[in-house]
Structure 1
Amino acid sequence: MADTDPFAPPNPGADRARRDHAALFRIAERHAGTDERRRRHAHADVPEPYEAASLVLALAAGGAEVTPDEEPVDRSDLIAALTLLPRVRADVDTLEAGLLALARDRGLTWQEIAFGLGLGSAQAARQRFDRVTGRTTTTG
């Protein structure tokens, strides 16, 4: 087993996945462990990475109320939320790439897509599509 072999090379991907998992469950346990707290989220058991990071931000900044028996956001919660940001970014890239591809498949012009994205030109929209799809195929 690679985890017990002292000569096995490190596996950053597996380490990252374990940290993502730990971060999600930390936030779920501390801030989404009751029905009342979970109602703030769409998923029934565990918040999605974006939800978890957003929840920590909202609780820490006062945008969501801390329940009487809930611990306040601490340094580890902030680190857990920060840990999730690369995954949130990858999820958003995947969402954007999917929506851009769907828009093109449905006949939207690059100019219409640029408008939807708040970009100034069709060329900017096409370049964005290339960048985002490049990132999603790279991170795959």
Structure 2
Amino acid sequence: MPETPAPGHSADAETDPFLPPDPERARAGRAPSALFRIAERHAATEEQRRRQTNPMLPAPHEAVRLVAFLLSGAARPEEGEPEVDKADITAALTLLPLVRGELDELETGLLQMARGRGMTWQEIAFGLGLGTQQAARQRYERLASRTAREEAP
């Protein structure tokens, strides 16, 4: 007879047919496929990838990512490029609220456009890894409220 999980512990929803799936886990499992799909369909060429960047200056999220990559060793500095110093780290930290705000605005706009294209809140919840349409609506309302406050003078 299979063991029943102890109170406070849950069986794996993937192996137990009587447990509902974990929406966030399912979303995380789709993430690599989502990235490859968009890259294949909309960023397959260098020209397509460049259309979202400023050739003269990195976007705030790119600058923060670059500093983090250089610090972690995920990216190597080019010959003659100065090492990341405390001022670079401070600059990246300074940009984080801007990056977070831009991401909130991007998500709000994407949710509005999804609704405008006829997607249901349940479909949106699935994409976000949320369990219910109510959770997706509430997320949108929080984001819309937060971005409206940030835009106010």
TM normalised by structure 2 equals 0.64
Unmatched segments (≥5 aa) in structure 2: 1-49
Decide which structure has the larger Cα Rg and report it: 2
Of the three residues 127, 133, 136, the one matched with 1:125 is: 136
Unmatched segments (≥5 aa) in structure 1: 1-38
Would you say 1:138 and 2:153 are equivalent positions? no
- The 5-angstrom pairing of residues 82-97 of structure 1 reads 82-97=93-108
- The 5-angstrom pairing of residues 9-20 of structure 1 reads none
Write the deviation string for residues 89-138 of structure 1: whole angstroms up to 9, x where unpaired: 01001100000000111111111000111111111100000000111111
Of the three residues 68, 93, 98, the one matched with 2:79 is: 68
Supply the distance in 2 between the matched residues of 1:42 and 1:92 (Cα, whole angstroms). 15
How many residue pairs get matched?
A: 101
C-alpha RMSD of matched pairs (Å): 1.5
Supply the distance in 2 between the matched residues of 1:106 and 1:42 (Cα, whole angstroms). 26
Percent identity for Structure 1 against Structure 2: 53
Of the three residues 77, 83, 103, the one matched with 2:88 is: 77
Where does residue 56 of structure 1 map in the other structure? 67
Supply the distance in 2 between the matched residues of 1:78 and 1:111 (Cα, whole angstroms). 40
**Which structure dedicates a bigger proportion of its chain to helix?**
1
* Higher normalized contact order (CA 8 Å, seq sep 6+, divided by chain length): 2
Q: CA deviation at 1:65?
A: 1.2
Supply the distance in 2 between the matched residues of 1:82 and 1:124 (Cα, whole angstroms). 30
Q: CA deviation at 1:68?
A: 1.4
